[in-house]
Amino acid sequence: MRARNYLFIALVGYGAWSAFKGRPVDTGPGALAPGRPQQEKTASTEQRFKGYRLVPLADYHLEARVLSTQHYTLGREAELSPVDLALGWGRMSDRQVLDRLDISQGNRFYYWRYQGEPPIPHDEIIRSSSNHHMIPADETIARQLKAIRPGQLVEFSGQLVEARHDDGWRWKSSLSREDTGNGACELVLVQRLNIR
């Protein structure tokens, strides 16, 4: 077989694998993650991580439906957080609601749009979904995060953090689920992760 044929087969195989990996998972109707994020005062202390200092702001636990994923390889933020997950809970984990929303991510933000009337009130969309910058605590979690697909359920625990560098650079997590816009995303050091 000629080298050109091997290349063609390899490209087709990679294309099929990429399409499968990015295809949303159909997990059925209903609110699949009815609870809310749990945030509590933390007793954890600052730690060094990949040349940065991570200052814990709160312990954090969430079970949510993955609305969208975005991978990053460039920029300082990607050194810490190579994956962003747009996550929904409550009615924002219900496929009937999500089918009426156009959801996307880019430039470390999460966006939603709709045609006509919103499927649920704006305030509820804001309170029940958020973009999460995921900092994997180890290589196993890093691999798990890269494999997550829209539609899956994730449950994770860790800390909301502020990342600092000795040159003065900072990146701080939101501590509210009711904010929106710049600074409203959660920056999470993920220490435990389950995917369903």
pTM of the predicted structure, to 2 decimals: 0.85
Q: Taking Cα atoms as reference points, which of 153, 17, 25, 164 lies closest to residue 85?
A: 153
List pLDDT tens digits, range 64-89. 999 999 999 999 999 999 999 999 99
Band (28; pLDDT cuts 50, 70, 90): low
Q: What is the pLDDT of residue 149?
A: 97
**Running DSSP on this structure, what letter comes out for residue 167?**
T
Using CA atoms of 148, 132, 62, 50 in order, give the dihedral in degrees to the nearest 10.
80
Q: What is the pLDDT of residue 27?
A: 57
Q: What is the pLDDT of residue 26?
A: 57
Transcribe 19-80 into DSSP letters.
HHHHSPP---SSBS--S--EEE------EEETTEEEEEEEEEEEEEEEEEEEE--SSHHHHH
Q: What is the pLDDT of residue 127?
A: 97
Q: What is the pLDDT of residue 14?
A: 40
Contact indicator for 185, 177 with CB cutoff of 8 Å: no
Cα 134 → chain centroid = 6
Band (42; pLDDT cuts 50, 70, 90): very high
Contact indicator for 99, 120 with CB cutoff of 8 Å: no
Mean pLDDT, rounded, of the chain: 89
Taking 80 as the threshold, does the pLDDT of residue 63 lie above it?
A: yes
Taking 80 as the threshold, does the pLDDT of residue 9 lie above it?
A: no
| Strand ranges inside 74-164, DSSP E | 83-88, 102-106, 109-113, 129-136, 153-164
Q: Mean pLDDT throughout 125-132?
A: 98
The total of other beta-carbon atoms located within 10 Å of residue 93's CB is 25
Q: Per-domain residue ranges for the chain?
A: 27-195
Distance (Å, rounded) from C-alpha 34 to C-alpha 50? 35
Band (24; pLDDT cuts 50, 70, 90): low
